[in-house]
Amino acid sequence: MTLIYRHQTRRRLAQVCRICCVCSLALLSLLFTEFAASPTHAQQRSDRRGSTVTVRSGETLFDAAMRANVSAEELATVNGLTVQSPVRKGQRLLLPSASVATPEQTTGEIIGKKIVFSDGGTIDVDDVWKQGDSVWYRLNGTSQSTSRSIKSIQNRYKIKPAPVQTAAVVKPAPAPLATWIYLVDGARLRVDEVREVADGAWYNRGHVTIFLGRERIARIEKEQPAEPTGERKQTDWSSGNVTIDQLIRTNASRVGVDPYLVFLVIEQESRFHTRALSPKGAQGLMQLMPGTARRLGVLRPFDPGQNIRGGTQYLKELLTMFNGRVDLALASYNAGEGRVLDYGNRVPPFKETREYVKRISSRYHSNTTKQGPARDAVSGGPQ
């Protein structure tokens, strides 16, 4: 009996050992599979090699992120820091893997910066920098700050022209003839299509249809084919915003100023950004200084209607003061009428002011003279 019991006990122990061996082999196989699938520390170090930014003297984490074209939040998260964490000179910060630029993004001539906001919006600017706790950028000579949360700042590169095709040259089809609506204030508007009705006319520009009252229309003309010996330049201006275009025309007509001149001033001052704010405190589309805005009754300078009304009124006052001289009015708008008077009714010798006057005047006069005798900038006054 004892022999039988010992034999059964040995059989049970053997079965248990076989089960344990099978489980152990399965567990070792699973661990080996996971280990083989995961990257080794050496591989991780190899992937990260070169994807760092070194902190320079006086820089904050935000400054380093801006220089590396990544967001401060991403840079802080990858390195286990916060945006406010102090960093030291020479400290190497690991960059987010998604921020490593491809060769196509780091070649060519740098022509500016692209700001990518956290809300998904972007803006192309000439330069960007941090001043205190604010981020400033410069666009076409105008500097202003932004309060929007920034995700990243990227370089913009000059696009290389595509290779010239030497195959057969296809002559482009002639552009369709335009229809012009001439307004009673002397301005004119190019439209795609116009339909006259008893009390006015409906016209189309792109996908927008707008109505003009009969009292505002001087005449409607279809453009004639150009003569073979010459070309005629067309003046077709638009801010890209129908409301702003209408405010320019309405206020210019009210005070007797060429709306195209008002359009050029706004384009130069703010690039049609209603919330534009200069380092000197000028506000809105026409960059009114607070004192000038109060004098003109502009209580909300960032409101497009009030800002354009006040700015157009101020431009009319300057044109009247200098007998319709567009160059002196523009110089006064930029530097102040007191400076123009101090220099004997001449454009002051300031580089910024002279470039401002030259840039707007050249566009204004070239577009008006190409269409015949130039219109006076102020009704009835000499140019």
Asked whether residue 4 is domain-assigned, the answer is no
Band of pLDDT at residue 52, cut at 50, 70 and 90: confident
How many domains does the structure of the chain reveal? 4
Q: Are 253 and 356 within one domain?
A: yes
* Share in percent of the chain as helix, strand, coil (round to 5): 40, 20, 40
Asked whether residue 207 is domain-assigned, the answer is yes
Q: Are 265 and 329 within one domain?
A: yes
Q: What is the pTM of this model?
A: 0.40
Burial readout 90-118 (b: 16 or more C-beta within 10 A, e: otherwise): ebebebbeebeeeeeeeeeeeebbebbee
- Describe the crossing of helices 304-321 and 242-255 by its angle, rounded to 10 degrees: 40
- Coil, strand, or helix at residue 130? strand
Residue 355: active-site member: no
Asked whether residue 334 is domain-assigned, the answer is yes
Q: What is the model's pLDDT at position 106?
A: 58
Residue 79 sits in a domain whose CATH number is 3.10.350.10
Domain that holds residue 322: 242-369
Q: Are 262 and 364 within one domain?
A: yes
Q: Are 206 and 300 within one domain?
A: no
Q: Are 358 and 246 within one domain?
A: yes
Q: Are 267 and 356 within one domain?
A: yes
Residue 259 sits in a domain whose CATH number is 1.10.530.10
Asked whether residue 231 is domain-assigned, the answer is no
Lowest mean pLDDT among 25-29, 252-256, 263-267, 312-316: 25-29
- Given the residues 269, 317, 337, 352, select the one marked as catalytic: 269
Q: Are 248 and 335 within one domain?
A: yes
Q: What is the model's pLDDT at position 358?
A: 93
Q: Are 157 and 183 within one domain?
A: no
| 262 has a pLDDT exceeding 90 | yes
Q: Are 123 and 208 within one domain?
A: no
Tell me the mean pLDDT in the region 364-368. 70
Would you give the DSSP letter of residue 288? B
204-241 residue pLDDT tens: 876 778 888 888 888 888 765 544 433 333 346 888 78
Q: Are 253 and 361 within one domain?
A: yes
Tell me the mean pLDDT in the region 70-84. 81
Q: What is the model's pLDDT at position 164?
A: 60
For the record, the structure tokens of 343 come out as 């220099």
Asked whether residue 35 is domain-assigned, the answer is no
86-109 residue pLDDT tens: 889 999 888 886 444 444 445 677
Q: Are 212 and 278 within one domain?
A: no
Asked whether residue 44 is domain-assigned, the answer is no
Band of pLDDT at residue 333, cut at 50, 70 and 90: very high
232 touches 241 (CB < 8 A): no
Q: What residues contact 147, with CB distance under 8 A and at least 6 apart?
A: 134
Q: Is the sign of the CA dihedral 26, 32, 36, 39 positive or negative?
A: positive
